[in-house]
A = this chain, B = another copy of it.
Amino acid sequence: MAIPLEELQLAARNHGLPLEALRYSVTPIGLHYLLIHFDIPAVDADAWWLELGGLVERPLTLSLDELKARPEATIPVTLECAGNGRALLRGDRASSQPWLVEAVGTAEWTGTPLAPLLAEAGPAPDAAEVVFTGIDRGVQGDVEHDYARSLPLAEALREEVLLAYAVNGRPLPPQHGFPLRLVVPGWYGMTSVKWLRSIEVVAEPFAGWQQAVAYHLRADAEDEGRPVTRMEPRSLLVPPGIPDFLSRARFVPPGPCLLTGRAWSGRGPVERLEVSADGGRSWAEAELEEPLGEFAWRGWSYEWQAEPGEHELCCRATDAAGRTQPLEPPWNLEGLCNNAVQRVQVVVRG
């Protein structure tokens, strides 16, 4: 496998979670994954406001202070990039950010719930979707556009959907959407539009590039595909022992070795976590911690008896809906929603 310069340019500017940072139930700022399509915009919060309009009875214009004066909620949310795992796909996939497994993080997002604001504006009877548009502008797929995504009205009205102005107790840093971003718990990260400037209620399915063209599961270029929505179940383990700098292989002494990690799903609570030390041929049950929250990852642990030799550690989450992780990456052209099990090479030596 080799990565072309175009993809390296993206890998150099977008940030993954260093896997040892899975030890933190809430990811420290600076370690959470970041996928930024265009540029981080420079926003003067004093000259910024949010427009809420379209098919509503009472369009609203809100300053940051007005948003902060509204009811406030804080929710721990696990966000994962829909392209996580892309670089591990076999086959001639489309070029994009070459994530391995590290495009994830969990933060405590603070903001005001969207549903009461939408209710206040009063969607028209024919309202179908809500379009969220950011300040960030660029060209993708030969189309110049502001980054924008939509949600079905019913999803936008879920009580856990936030307009967030703080993360981990601090104002949003520029890279996480300052001054305001959407946070849609349970969905892949592309949904949680950063640097929000407008929210528009519409009657027709939104045809913007990031909605209608990107983020579709397609078998090939002719396939219309299915849109990406909620996160598939996934789990990661903290690579144990110490690493080799270049290969990232791990060295572990023989004996008991506590494996730990996190697991999540956007389709229901994680109810089972299995660990394999032989690359997925045999599995054992891990212990799940209490959930951090309904929309955040769940810690797990498993005491592995490390025998001298070479091992391939894997973990596999199963959610309440019975969905689990495949051993091999599921194919789609854009390399989306690849929740195949992580594989960590370990050498046990005395």
A42: min CB distance to chain B, Å: 6
Point out the residue from B2, B19, B21, B245 that lies within 8 Å of A38, measured CB to CB.
B245
Point out the residue from B1, B30, B36 that lies within 8 Å of A18, measured CB to CB.
B36
Cβ of A29 < 8 Å from any Cβ of B?
Answer: yes
Specify the chain B residue showing the minimal Cβ separation from A36: B18
Residues of A within 8 A of B (CB-CB), count: 58
Specify which chain B residues have a CB less than 8 angstroms from the CB of A180 in the assembled complex.
none
Asked whether, in the complex, the Cβ of B29 is within 8 Å of the Cβ of A96, the reply is no
Asked whether, in the complex, the Cβ of A246 is within 8 Å of the Cβ of B13, the reply is no
Asked whether, in the complex, the Cβ of A243 is within 8 Å of the Cβ of B139, the reply is yes
Asked whether, in the complex, the Cβ of B29 is within 8 Å of the Cβ of A29, the reply is yes
Give residues of chain A (149-176) contacting chain B, Cβ–Cβ below 8 Å. Answer: 173-176
A234: min CB distance to chain B, Å: 16
Asked whether, in the complex, the Cβ of A16 is within 8 Å of the Cβ of B13, the reply is yes
Asked whether, in the complex, the Cβ of A8 is within 8 Å of the Cβ of B12, the reply is no
Report which residue of A16, A138, A174, A246 has the largest number of chain B beta carbons within 10 angstroms of its beta carbon. A246
Report which residue of A7, A8, A175 has the largest number of chain B beta carbons within 10 angstroms of its beta carbon. A8
Point out the residue from B21, B102, B247 that lies within 8 Å of A12, measured CB to CB.
B102
A217-251 vs B, Cβ < 8 Å mask (1 yes, 0 no): 00000000000000000000001001111111001
Cβ of A290 < 8 Å from any Cβ of B?
Answer: no
In the assembly, what is the distance between CA of A39 and CA of B4, in Å?
27
Specify the chain B residue showing the minimal Cβ separation from A87: B8
In the assembly, what is the distance between CA of A99 and CA of B4, in Å?
13
In the assembly, what is the distance between CA of A31 and CA of B14, in Å?
10
In the assembly, what is the distance between CA of A137 and CA of B242, in Å?
6
In the assembly, what is the distance between CA of A174 and CA of B18, in Å?
11
Asked whether, in the complex, the Cβ of B247 is within 8 Å of the Cβ of A6, the reply is yes
In the assembly, what is the distance between CA of A239 and CA of B139, in Å?
14
Asked whether, in the complex, the Cβ of A174 is within 8 Å of the Cβ of B40, the reply is no
Cβ of A37 < 8 Å from any Cβ of B?
Answer: yes
Specify which chain B residues have a CB less than 8 angstroms from the CB of A12 in the assembled complex.
11, 16, 87, 98-100, 102
Cβ of A3 < 8 Å from any Cβ of B?
Answer: yes
Cβ of A144 < 8 Å from any Cβ of B?
Answer: yes
- Which positions in A face B, CB cutoff 8 Å? 1-13, 15-16, 18-21, 23-24, 28-32, 34, 36-40, 42, 87, 95-96, 98-100, 102, 137-140, 144, 173-176, 239, 242-248, 251
